[in-house]
Amino acid sequence: MSMGTSEVALQVLSGAGPRLLTPDMCFGNVDSSYPSRFHSKCLKKRTSKYMNLLRCSSMLHSRMGPKQLKGLGCGVFGDTAVNRLQLQSCKCQQADSLSGLAAEDGNGTWFVDSAKKLNLNGVTNASNILEFENVQQFEQEKKGLTSNGVVGTGTDTAHKASVDSIEDEAWDLLRDSMVYYCGSPVGTIAANDPTSSNVLNYDQVFIRDFIPSGIAFLLKGEYDIVRNFILHTLQLQSWEKTIDCHSPGQGLMPASFKVRTVPLDGDNSETEEVLDPDFGEAAIGRVAPVDSGLWWIILLRAYGKSSGDLSVQERVDVQTGIKMILRLCLADGFDMFPTLLVTDGSCMIDRRMGIHGHPLEIQALFYSALLCAREMLAPEDGSADLIRALNNRLVALSFHIREYYWIDMRKLNEIYRYKTEEYSYDAVNKFNIYPDQISPWLVEWMPNRGGYLIGNLQPAHMDFRFFSLGNLWSVVSSLTTTDQSHAILDLIEAKWADLVADMPFKICYPALEGQEWQIITGSDPKNTPWSYHNAGSWPTLIWQFTVACIKMNRPEIAARAVQVAERRLSRDKWPEYYDTKRGRFIGKKACLFQTWSIAGYLVAKLLLADPSAAKILITEEDSDLVNAFSCMISANPRRKRGRKDSKQTYIV
């Protein structure tokens, strides 16, 4: 970028600039006197015909294509009871859109040949790729394959037809969930359950929920919806956000947004379409979505790698949005650790579940977002300090997680023999963990081969629960070492009956029960043992599991999980989650036709059909980080107490 561009970006960050410089008309018309508010209008006459259309549900409108919607106006949701002072505005002109690029149909069956060609890490894991005993055994139980692995003639044809019909149904449902804004698709609603009368906020577009939908569209070559989603949510980032007279950081991304149609000021015969975001001020528990901005960065990188269109991430407003998220996450505070300190419920587990502090899921997404942002940030003088801080945090975070969050049988035995109350710079038990914290279930559950990253670490506290998303994304982002990544997959295979069983994938293990459940969750009736976030089974997690398996050249494990899910997902109407230890029941309060359950399945199928496509999500550790990490391990902690060297590349 030129110096002029750099100055504009800095002005936008400070709010002093006159407007965002963008090539899109819809994002360029910003009132200079209100730098944190945008207005997007879509006008149409309020005839009886149009009012009837506005009363239609979002499901009806989403089934119409963009061409039909352009002829009918822009209304998607007919809710008019809204305060316009709290709504977004922008001139309703269609945003730039890429022409949809045709792509091959990725819904084919996954074959061994795909795995044989896979070599994402430069090393082919031949034994894992070619050995399919578990998969074959599973398929034989269902009579899908003969004992020697040869495809059957009659039964297998019927099975393939059944799988194809499931995929076709999933794509139809995913497209039915699309939300349109000014005639263009901007996201997918969380659930489209016709059996539920109380939709709560499931009719909104959630940032985290859209990620698997966005990845599915990218893998299918349908880029417009992802581009529109990225740019429109970026607009919402700059909103003034206030909860009880307090405003959170500027870089905060919304948890969700909804398209609303409201009357136009001063003209009752016309209406306008607005985006209405929720930054947590309306959410249950009023919790800010820490993971939204991290997922946004990850999706932005995936879009560029999949479409080849780098112009989006190079835009001034997008570069500014990345920097705002980074500055919010890298801000100095009182914490002594490189991990992000967050409240309970600030991620996928958005209810009270005892994850406040430094939950693994946030740290894995944080690390991944830092790597993605470093790859996309334009080199300029104004970014030097930010990139330096980013590199420092990457090294410190990877060391901290790998060294202190990792647990296997050897580490567990080491903790069992910990001495406590150590006061020294070279203490072994640095966090003063009491050995009695080791639960009896863990002693029996930990396999001899395998390990995982614990759920949380704070002074005198280790949360030994296995949290699936945090561990899986640590593998995807290379937060774990190669050996640790394989050990995590080894543990999942060893504990398949607990973590997968009748429906993949347990969100965490084990469940909080009895008095522990009462104290930690506050007796939450939705998070009862083995339900919802308290060790329920979430089908959407299958896509993260698939990416992790492909990265480690072990896709056959994911293929086995997908086959388990295929037995029930369509028949059960694509539930949000499943209950009981083995995931046998549809969740007691689960929404049906949950969009990210549908999209997660489709992403897993597309990636197993073309494993090389997973590269848009995978990040590899570079040599600089490896060298800095090695230096940290060999360094004497007592020598670090002197004055910091201003020329030091990595400061920890």
pLDDT tens digits, one per residue of 216-244: 999 999 999 999 999 999 999 866 666 66
Buried b (16+ CB within 10 A) or exposed e, 378-408: bebebbeebeebbbbbbbbbbbbbbebbbbb
Q: At 524, is the secondary structure helix, strand, or coil?
A: coil
Lowest-confidence pick of 87-96, 284-293, 364-373: 87-96
According to DSSP, residue 403 is labeled: I
The pLDDT-based confidence of 635 (bands split at 50, 70, 90) is low
pLDDT digits (tens, 9 = 90+) for 147-158: 333 344 566 676
Q: Quote the DSSP letter at residue 632.
A: H
Q: Which long-range contacts (CB under 8 A, 24 or more apart) does 384-393 make?
A: 386/323, 386/326, 386/327, 386/330, 389/330, 390/326, 390/330, 391/624, 391/649, 391/650, 392/650, 392/651, 392/652, 393/330, 393/338
User: 538: number of CA atoms within 13 Å, CB side?
Assistant: 24
Encode pLDDT of 300-359 as tens digits. 999 999 999 999 999 999 999 999 999 999 998 888 899 999 999 889 998 999 999 999
Give the angle subtended at the CA of 212 by the CAs of 206 and 216, to the nearest 5°: 130
Q: What does the alpha-carbon distance between residue 96 and residue 26 come to, in Å, rounded to a whole number?
A: 8
- Note the pLDDT of residue 606: 98
Mapped onto helix, strand or coil, the DSSP state of residue 609 is: helix
How far, in Å, CA of 383 to CA of 560, rounded? Answer: 45
Please report, rounded to a whole number, the percentage of residues in the chain having pLDDT higher than 90. 57
Q: Using 50, 70 and 90 to split pLDDT, how confident is the model at 135?
A: very low
| DSSP conformation letters of 271-300 | EEEEEEEESSSSSTT----HHHHHHHHHHH
Mean pLDDT in residue range 462-486 = 97
Average pLDDT value over all residues in the chain: 79
Residue 318, beta-bridge partner list: none
Q: What are phi and psi of 536, to 5 degrees?
A: -75, 170
Q: Which two tokens stand for residue 145?
A: 């394959």
Q: Name the token pair of 347.
A: 């991620």
Interval 580-591 mean pLDDT: 96
Q: At what angle do helices 224-237 and 316-330 cross, to 10 degrees?
A: 60
Is the pLDDT at 475 greater than 90? The verdict is: yes
Backbone angles phi, psi at 614, to 5 degrees: -65, -15
Give the separation between CA 227 and CA 221, rounded to whole angstroms: 12
| Top mean-pLDDT range of 4-8, 26-30, 50-54, 421-425 | 421-425
Q: Which of 631, 361, 335 is nearest to 479 (CA)?
A: 361
Q: Outline where 477-533 has alpha helix (H).
A: 482-494, 496-499, 514-521
The phi, psi pair for 462, rounded to 5°, reads -125, 125
> Can you give the pLDDT at residue 31?
38
Q: Are 608 and 562 in contact (CB under 8 A)?
A: yes
The string of pLDDT tens digits covering residues 377-411 is 998 877 889 999 999 999 999 999 999 999 999 99
Whether the Cβ atoms of residue 637 and residue 403 lie closer than 8 Å to each other: no
Position 632 scores a pLDDT of 62
**Which helix H or strand E contains 556, and what residues bound it?**
helix 555-566
Structure confidence at residue 70 (pLDDT): 37
- Distance set, CA 254 to CA 142, 200, 410 (Å): 44, 17, 42
pLDDT of residue 173: 97
- Which of 200, 290, 219 minimizes the C-alpha distance to 249? 290
The pLDDT value given to residue 441 = 95
Relative orientation angle of helices 595-609 and 155-176, to the nearest 10 degrees: 130
* Segment of 45-59, 72-86, 548-562 carrying the highest mean pLDDT: 548-562
CB 523 within 8 A of CB 452: no
pLDDT for the residue 603: 98
Coil, strand or helix at 87: coil
Q: Residue 242 phi/psi, 5° resolution?
A: -135, 130
In sequence order, the 6+-apart residues with CB closer than 8 A to the CB of 452 are: 406, 407, 408, 466, 471, 487, 488, 491
Predicted pLDDT at 551: 98
Per-residue confidence (pLDDT) for residue 451, from 0 to 100:
98
Q: What is the largest CA-CA distance in the chain?
A: 78
SS3 letters for 326-393?
A: HHHHHCCCCCCCCCCCECCCCCCCCCCCCCCECCHHHHHHHHHHHHHHHHHCCCCHHHHHHHHHHHHH
Q: What's the pLDDT at 153?
A: 54
- The secondary structure element, H or E, covering residue 262 is strand 256-264
| CA 533-539-541 angle, 5° bins | 75
Q: For residue 484, which of 451, 525, 520 has the smallest C-alpha distance?
A: 451
What does the pLDDT read at residue 471? Answer: 98
Q: Is 46 helix (H, G, I), strand (E, B) or coil?
A: coil
C-alpha–C-alpha distance, residues 651 and 348, integer Å = 31
Report whether pLDDT(630) > 60. yes
Report the distance separating Cα 407 and Cα 387, nearest Å.
Answer: 31
Lowest pLDDT segment from 302-316, 317-331, 491-505, 632-646: 632-646
Please determine, for residue 66, whether its predicted confidence score (pLDDT) is greater than 90: no
Among residues 351, 322, 325, 318, the alpha carbon closest in space to that of 340 is found at: 325
- Please compute the mean of the pLDDT values over residues 521-547 and round it to a whole number: 96
Mean pLDDT of 467-477: 98
Helix spans in 149-289 (H): 155-176, 207-219, 224-237
Return the percentage of the chain with pLDDT > 70, whole number.
69
Stretch 21-36: mean pLDDT = 37
Query: Are the C-beta atoms of 86 and 275 separated by less than 8 Å?
Result: no
Q: Counting every residue, how long is the chain?
A: 652
Is residue 560 within 8 Å of 579, Cβ to Cβ? no
**Token reading at 324:** 């705002």
- Average pLDDT for 558-569: 97
Separation CA 363–CA 369 (nearest Å): 10
